[in-house]
């Protein structure tokens, strides 16, 4: 079946450190891929997306590239801030069939 | 304007009660969802409606009953609440290649 696997958290970094959160997926066909972010006590916000292989999604300094050959969509940021502390979710969606499948979430804590 | 809005945001209720969470989207989308987030932050789909028709029902206990009076609204009614129903419930709607979420409803059953 279709599934998404993220690296285990929590991830703790110092401010201005480089961030990578790994995400791999198992799917038939060609899903769209997403990163959502959930700040403490808040809802889910779309961070970025990519709809086909080799697309790069980017937003607020975060980037992720859709790699079909490695079935991956790793999230990166060059210099994290305390305000980036949140839970990050990788997800996949098929154009037909309709449901968004989430990874288990990775908690990021950035210390000053 | 909030694209997907759900009410209430917080709900504390006793076991055995019946409660509803309402959701509305002003995006003109045909497809709406309910997701449940458990205490470990894991997100799982519960239901999906397309233009008022149920299209996904993910083995949710029949104490949970979604209702879609029109394609802009998808409400969730829960009967005989149990302690294990405590969670965050997210409503969402689907546009072209993207799903937009509401702010969540934090349900605590005591």
Can you give the pLDDT of all 112 residues of chain A as single tens digits? 789 999 988 999 999 999 999 999 998 888 999 999 999 989 999 999 999 999 999 999 999 999 999 999 999 999 999 999 999 999 999 766 678 999 999 999 999 9
pLDDT digits (tens, 9 = 90+) for B86-105: 999 999 999 888 899 999 99
Q: Which of A79, A69, A73 is nearest to A14 (CA)?
A: A79
- Nearest residue in B to A90, CA atom: B43
CB distance B42–A93 less than 8 Å?
A: no
Phi and psi torsions of A84, nearest 5°:
-85, -5
Contact B92 A99 (CB under 8 A): no
Q: Which of B85, B74, B81 is nearest to B22 (CA)?
A: B74
Q: Does the beta-carbon distance from A44 to B90 stay under 8 Å?
A: yes
A80 three-class SS: coil
- The per-residue pLDDT for A97 is 60
Please give the Cα distance from A38 to A102 (Å, whole number): 13
Average pLDDT over residues B5-26: 97
Instruction: Judge whether B55 is closer than 8 Å to chain A, CB to CB.
Output: yes
Q: Residue A71 region, left (φ>0) first, then alpha (ψ -120 to 50), else beta?
A: left
State the count of interchain CB pairs (< 8 A) between A and B. 56
For residue A96, the model assigns a pLDDT of 64
At A95 the pLDDT is 67
- Identify all chain B residues contacting A100, using CB atoms and an 8 Å cutoff: 33, 35, 45, 92, 99
Beta carbons of A107 and B41 less than 8 Å apart:
yes
- A66-69 CB contacts, 8 Å cutoff, 24+ apart: A66/A33, A68/A30
C-alpha to C-alpha distance for A85 and A87, rounded to whole angstroms:
7
The whole-chain average pLDDT of chain B stands at 93
From chain A, pick out residues whose CB is under 8 angstroms from the CB of B33.
99-100
């Amino acid at each position: 079946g279709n599934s998404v696997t993220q690296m285990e958290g929590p991830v703790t970094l110092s401010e201005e450190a480089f961030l990578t959160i790994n995400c791999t997926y198992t799917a038939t066909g060609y899903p769209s891929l997403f990163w959502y972010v959930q700040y403490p006590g808040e809802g889910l916000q779309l961070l970025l997306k990519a709809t086909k292989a080799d697309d790069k999604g980017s937003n607020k300094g975060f980037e992720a590239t859709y790699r079909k050959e490695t079935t991956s969509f790793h999230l990166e940021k060059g210099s994290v801030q305390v305000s980036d502390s949140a839970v990050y979710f990788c997800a996949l969606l098929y154009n037909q069939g309709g449901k968004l499948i989430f990874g288990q979430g990775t908690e990021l804590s950035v210390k000053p | 304007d909030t694209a997907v809005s759900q009410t209430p945001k917080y709900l504390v209720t006793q076991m055995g009660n019946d409660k509803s969470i309402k959701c509305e989207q002003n995006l003109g989308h045909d497809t709406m969802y309910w997701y449940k987030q458990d205490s470990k932050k894991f997100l799982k789909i519960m239901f999906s409606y397309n233009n008022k028709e149920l299209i996904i029902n993910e083995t949710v206990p029949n104490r949970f009953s979604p209702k879609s009076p029109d394609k802009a609204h998808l409400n969730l009614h829960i009967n005989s609440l149990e302690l294990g129903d405590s969670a965050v419930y997210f409503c969402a709607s689907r546009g072209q290649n993207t799903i937009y979420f509401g702010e969540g409803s934090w349900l605590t059953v005591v």
